[in-house]
Structure 1
């Protein structure tokens, strides 16, 4: 790949170095306190999210998930606050929501039953766990007298139910070849393009193809989470004689060290060469053609489109790519502790349910232990 002078492109302006809107840190959206005149429930939620934001394990993703789950709970409170809940002599309007500090164990059971009727067990557990943590926080502040969600019986979740959703070696190789071919085709198009709009379009195609390839490589051959890919900063990449090394803080603030060598080296090398040609102040490795950090949803869309091209057996997602890496790493090494370190899991139990070993692999392993001269069983 031989980069030429940066092409001009309508609408492709450098991000302002000063005097303009600053580039937001990846994955973090501006957060504010409750608006003036907010309800007691909204103020309590703001306090809870503020606590979450400043804990060691707090993250933008966790905060967004909590906010979404508590909005769902607020809708339940609004539906639950029927007129019959208010004594006739009170002045409460008929559509007033149930006060959060008046929720009883019966209300909690009704909420759980409603969730179970509409959502999968995993979603039910997540939402109830969020509201339970919310009430534990409020009890600590003495804003409620009890936690109505304590000791609720939540539905069981089979954490191993999707471990089989990994790419086969053929699917993985096919995906890698397709992405490499996209980059090669875009590079040839740029080399033969005429100056002006044609070259700008050719560069845009090369930019997109190299970015998709490196994002795929980081998830499928380095095991990074989607949030870790979009949040990876340039300072996290260390160039070494044998390739690149990534050193970054992953989920829960844990420091991760992941090598990018062999096949994984070239996609990063090509991407960095192309990225340097786009003016940007964004600290992230992955950026858009306008110099902004890439949105997590973009990686999800790219994976879905790639899965259709590959004709994968299962819908392709960033999580499937990470699980594929974990499974292949375990099969290649047999060292689950090292795989745990590569994935950044706090518990080895998480790594155990995250990986998938098929029956053919187990049969091969058992057969390998047989004595060559032993008589077959009668």
Structure 2
């Protein structure tokens, strides 16, 4: 089958595919591929329980691969064509994406999406894309926000810094409480804004928050008394009712608080305190882990606090070297 130059556009003159019953229309793919693609998206959300944004990202990545293959192979992508793919075809896609500046992390996600799609095709007996197993994932530079200095992190989460701002007191208290949770308990911004009122105890009524992390996994995270007090101050000032099962943090009109609001708060603080652009909400979580480790915190305990499935993720996240990781492993393994 003829190969053509790399491109993300469908081949010229290719007839558009019919709109499938599930609403998926891929003009660069045969109808049976479009139907399988639609089933795969449903599978990701319903069976794999991925978030809508993750499903959207995976779907976009696989559409890009299929669009490239249509141009590369010279016609609409069929199930038979997918089964005949070679490692050279897959590498051609990766090379084409790299040529337009796509980074390794995005390429790795594209491969992950195609492999997931291929598993569904194989499960349903539609096609076996063996070439994907022979292609190595691209190398990814492990870049993370730099941790803040302890003093800078404390200044950012100091409520007094917000005194005198031309915003309502309850809004200032809300922002202070969110930032306190990011640094004081190491939460992701999505986890902090996903808290329900009942997930956070009042001061003196408990010392853990119940967090829903990635994959809807729930975990309990210790919380400092000053952080609980910051949350209590916000609750006392908030003009909206905060039912136990509703969101803890709300926006100006009483709806769920947008992450963008907290990002803008950090932007203002960066300017006021002369901090670098790396001082983001996620950098507070990174700082939480790094500062605990600097003070002698146990790596496995930090892994649990962060909600990491793998210790190696925590190793990268905290920037520790391999020797320190081996020390933790030797100390913790039951057959040491």
Which band: TM-score by shorter chain?
0.7 to 0.9
Q: CA deviation at 1:151?
A: 1.6
CA RMSD after TM alignment:
2.9
Q: CA deviation at 1:240?
A: 4.9
Distance 1:138 1:175 in 2: 50
Q: CA deviation at 1:58?
A: 2.8
Q: In terms of Rg, which structure is larger?
A: 1
TM-score (norm 2): 0.76
Match of 2:333 in 1: none
Is 1:137 aligned to residue 120 of structure 2? yes
Q: Which runs of 5+ in 1 are unaligned?
A: 1-32, 87-96, 187-201, 363-378
Distance 1:112 1:36 in 2: 25
Match of 1:47 in 2: 39
Structure with the bigger RCO (C-alpha within 8 Å, sep 6+) is: 1
Question: Where do 1:197-236 residues align within 5 Å?
Answer: 205-236=168-199
- Answer with 321-330 or 119-128: which moved more: 119-128
Match of 2:236 in 1: 273
Q: Which runs of 5+ in 2 are unaligned?
A: 1-20, 325-336
- Answer with 217-226 or 98-107: which moved more: 98-107
Match of 1:331 in 2: 294
Aligned partners of 1:280 and 1:292 also within 8 Å: no
Is 1:167 aligned to residue 148 of structure 2? yes
User: Structure 1 residues 37, 326: CA separation in 2 closer, same or farther (over 3 Å shift)?
Assistant: closer
TM-score (norm 1): 0.68
Match of 2:164 in 1: 185
User: Structure 1 residues 307, 72: CA separation in 2 closer, same or farther (over 3 Å shift)?
Assistant: farther
Distance 1:60 1:248 in 2: 19
Match of 2:52 in 1: 60
Q: Secondary structure at the match of 2:289?
A: helix
Distance 2:278 2:237 in 1: 30
Q: CA deviation at 1:328?
A: 0.9
Q: Secondary structure at the match of 1:211?
A: helix
Aligned partners of 1:207 and 1:289 also within 8 Å: no
Is 1:351 aligned to residue 314 of structure 2? yes
Distance 2:63 2:237 in 1: 42
Match of 1:116 among 87, 90, 98: 98
Aligned partners of 1:108 and 1:148 also within 8 Å: yes
Q: Secondary structure at the match of 2:264?
A: helix
Q: CA deviation at 1:46?
A: 2.4
- Answer with 204-213 or 71-80: which moved more: 71-80
User: Structure 1 residues 143, 315: CA separation in 2 closer, same or farther (over 3 Å shift)?
Assistant: same
